[in-house]
């Protein structure tokens, strides 16, 4: 049995090419089928059959898609909560270790002072992170609200386009059908893009909120530890008792957080399992309807459609950390050296494009303000350097360019107006 995914192209006069979703090489080319039909009546009958098949699939997908999206949403929520539980356990461990380390320093004044300085530095860093992610959260909240409104507007446009298409089908006007079908496809595409944009905005907001929570927790943990050590330094028994109590209280709060999150995880797991069961039941019913018209249902239909909607555009993308280069629709970023449009670029471990001087291994390279690797002569900071065709900076050697000999020192800088190895170089660095 052929396993095919019938698209709106099926109901065009020439049907269009139909995409196979079979793992095998099964493929139904309705263009060639129609071309082989000579009778207008037979061709009309074939079109009517194809229209019916399309309608069956469209009806089932209108039921399956929301069920699939709900399952994905519940699964993501469960995974997010599970990650928060792990983070909560990590926070508890940090607090407990902080108490142990501080207790170990009792009586060692020098160590207490050193530890206090380290914590003050860490507190400053945590405060900076809190400020940054507070700004990020505010920015992303605005982005989410904008994206949400765009999605709501797109849904309304799609609904109107769907109504117009159905009206055209009822009228039987071929021109109107073709035009409204095209408008509907365009509206659905824009709606998918709006849904994707809202999802990405929510993901950025969630990540920023998580980082903000970490920064706030770190500040509270560090502050409690500092109060404890300050009390130990002064030897004030009351302050020592109070600081120890505050640290113990934070440990208890961390345990309560874990308990609460674990309860929420159980609820999220149940929600996810129920959503999966609902999807599977809908799929069973869809499989029956598909079989009636000669189709075989597979969840890959939903997964492939979802992958297309959520595919990340490859190429350059500007982020808050700098320029990155997306190499796959999954969103994988280039790292290390990458040749793009005939120029070499270097991306760090986070995928961010680098500029100016970089050291890769034991070799220095120079990337201009656009990130492109440079070769040949380079003037920087009043000194001249020579970069090989590979971009590698020459160091500690004599070399020839055309008919001239030059020397560069260990830093790579061109030697000028001096004598090297008994040979004199002039102000241009040329051996004379």
Mean pLDDT of the 27-56 span: 61
414 — phi, psi (to 5°)? -70, 135
Q: What are the residue boundaries of the structural domains of the chain, listed by start?
A: 33-297, 315-425
Q: Pick from 66, 71, 15: which is nearest to 286 by CA?
A: 66
> pLDDT at residue 335 above 50?
yes
* Cα angle 76, 79, 83; round to 5: 135
**Separation in Å, CA 38 to CA 18, 34, 97, 209:** 21, 8, 83, 64
What pLDDT score does 241 carry?
A: 67
Q: What is the CATH number of domain 315-425?
A: 2.10.270.10
* Distance from C-alpha of 341 to C-alpha of 336, rounded to nearest angstrom: 16
* Distance from C-alpha of 374 to C-alpha of 149, rounded to nearest angstrom: 45
| Residue 412 CB-half CA count within 13 A | 23
> What are 164-204's pLDDT values in tens digits?
888 887 887 878 888 888 888 888 878 878 877 887 888 88
> What are 222-258's pLDDT values in tens digits?
777 777 667 666 665 666 666 666 767 777 877 888 8
Predicted structure pTM score: 0.43
Overall CATH class of domain 33-297: mainly alpha
* Distance from C-alpha of 33 to C-alpha of 42, rounded to nearest angstrom: 11
What pLDDT score does 15 carry?
A: 33
Query: Which of the two residues, 112 and 271, has the higher pLDDT score?
Result: 271
Q: What are the start-end ranges of the H helices in 315-426?
A: none
297 — phi, psi (to 5°)? -80, 140
């Amino acid at each position: 049995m052929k396993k095919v995914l019938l698209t709106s192209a099926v109901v065009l006069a020439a049907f269009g090419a139909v995409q196979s979703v079979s793992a095998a090489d099964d493929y139904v080319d309705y263009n060639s089928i129609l071309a082989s039909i000579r009778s207008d009546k037979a061709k009309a009958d074939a079109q009517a059959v194809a229209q019916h098949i399309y309608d069956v699939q469209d009806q089932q997908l209108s039921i399956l898609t929301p069920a699939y999206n709900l399952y994905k949403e519940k699964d993501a929520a469960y995974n997010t909560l599970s990650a928060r539980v792990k983070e909560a356990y990590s926070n508890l461990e940090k607090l407990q270790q902080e108490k142990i380390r501080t207790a170990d320093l009792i009586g060692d004044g020098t160590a207490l002072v050193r530890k206090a300085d380290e914590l003050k530095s860490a507190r400053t860093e945590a405060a900076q992170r809190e400020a940054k992610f507070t700004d990020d959260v505010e920015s992303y909240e605005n982005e989410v609200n904008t994206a949400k409104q765009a999605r709501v507007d797109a849904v309304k446009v799609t609904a109107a386009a769907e109504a117009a298409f159905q009206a055209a089908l009822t009228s039987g006007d071929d021109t109107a059908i073709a035009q409204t079908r095209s408008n509907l496809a365009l509206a659905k595409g824009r709606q998918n893009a709006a849904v994707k944009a809202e999802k990405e905005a929510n993901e950025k907001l969630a990540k920023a909120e998580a980082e903000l929570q970490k920064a706030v927790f770190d500040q509270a943990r560090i502050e409690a530890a500092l109060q404890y050590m300050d009390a130990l330094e002064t030897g004030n028994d009351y302050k020592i008792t109070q600081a120890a109590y505050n640290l113990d209280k934070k440990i208890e709060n961390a345990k309560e957080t874990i308990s609460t999150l674990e309860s929420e995880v159980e609820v999220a797991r149940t929600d996810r399992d129920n959503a999966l069961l609902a999807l599977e039941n809908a799929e069973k019913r869809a499989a029956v309807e598909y079989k009636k018209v000669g189709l075989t249902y597979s969840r890959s239909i939903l997964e492939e459609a979802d992958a297309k909607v959520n595919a990340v555009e490859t190429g350059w993308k500007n982020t808050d950390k700098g320029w990155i280069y997306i190499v796959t629709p999954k969103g994988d970023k280039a790292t290390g050296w990458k040749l793009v449009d005939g120029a070499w670029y270097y991306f760090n471990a986070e995928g961010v494009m680098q500029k100016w001087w970089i050291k890769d291994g034991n070799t220095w390279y120079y990337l201009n303000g656009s990130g492109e690797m440079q070769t040949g002569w380079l003037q920087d900071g009043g000194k001249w350097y020579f970069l090989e065709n590979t971009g590698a900076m020459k160091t500690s050697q004599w070399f020839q360019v055309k008919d001239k000999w030059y020397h560069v020192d260990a830093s790579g800088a061109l030697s000028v107006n001096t004598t090297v190895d008994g040979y004199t170089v002039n102000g241009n660095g040329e051996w004379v």
